[in-house]
Amino acid sequence: MRRLDGRTVLITGGANGLGLATGVRLAEEGANVCLVDREAEALEAAGSAVRAFGGRVCTVFADCLQAENVTRTVQRANSELGPIDVLVNNIGQSARERQSPFVQSNEDVWRFVFEVNVFTTFRFTRAVAPGMCERRFGRIINLSSDAALVGPLQSADYAAAKAAILGFTRATAREFGPAGVTVNAILPGPMRTRAMIDANQTVVQSMVDKVVLGHPGEPEDIAAMVAMLASEDGRFITGQSIPVNGGVWWL
């Protein structure tokens, strides 16, 4: 299927994992794709992988924690590919090696986790939404996490940040809906990404043991949901928080 012929897509955190798989899938569906990431070598390889499907591709090396880089990225995508029809707010990260019980945590880590997960989502949405509303078409897809509802141990900052994305999704869906712009959130469960490979494997196995289907998901599972929401097949879905988690839990 080529449900996205002629559409322009911007994917943050597009060099690896969920972002890369989404870029490949949307290119397969006919989209022109802009990938933004701060890992230069991986970004170059990701651009080549996406170009293999024939669409136009723009890669932007940028640290999205800097507000001016967000503006520059959106301007570059508009210039090279045309107005952005689909925004995938994929960039995000937990505290990782600085993870700790909340009573031992500190504000520097809280601020980093909120900056990388919440403020990048705010900034890119703020940059592209006016144009989408003016053209009366747009798809904004925010990557949250099942941590927003599960509340895993030693991840209070990450759970709170990903929950904030759900509230933001609902509020902006209500605001942008009359202009024909949908906004949805995807909540991935355990996914076979670099973060999983690098994590404590005892913790990883405890997560996988809770998956009803018996195995972690693949980045392509998230990409498939993004593709549906980005296409006309998702035209009547907005404001939703959609788990893709193999049955860890259900709403």
- Beta-bridge partners for 183: 140
Q: pLDDT at position 93, please?
A: 92
Instruction: Catalogue the active-site residues.
Output: 158
Q: pLDDT at position 241, please?
A: 97
Q: pLDDT at position 13, please?
A: 97
Mean pLDDT of the chain: 93
Q: pLDDT at position 197, please?
A: 63
Q: pLDDT at position 200, please?
A: 60
Distance between CA atoms of residues 103 and 212, nearest Å: 33
Residue numbers of the chain with a pLDDT score lower than 50: none
Token pair listed for 16:
């690896």
Token pair listed for 111:
């601020």
Which residue stretches of the chain are H helix? 17-28, 40-51, 67-81, 107-114, 120-135, 147-150, 156-176, 194-198, 201-208, 219-230
Q: Is 191 in contact with 217 (CB distance < 8 Å)? A: yes
**Domains identified in the chain and CATH numbers:** 8-244 (3.40.50.720)
Token pair listed for 248:
């860890």
* Count of C-beta atoms within a 10 Å radius of residue 135: 14
Q: pLDDT at position 196, please?
A: 61
Torsion of the alpha carbons at 54, 28, 118 and 113, rounded to the nearest 10 = -90
- The interaxial angle of helices 67-81 and 120-135, nearest 10 deg, is 40
Q: pLDDT at position 39, please?
A: 95
State pLDDT tens for residues 135-171: 999 999 999 999 999 888 889 999 999 999 999 999 9
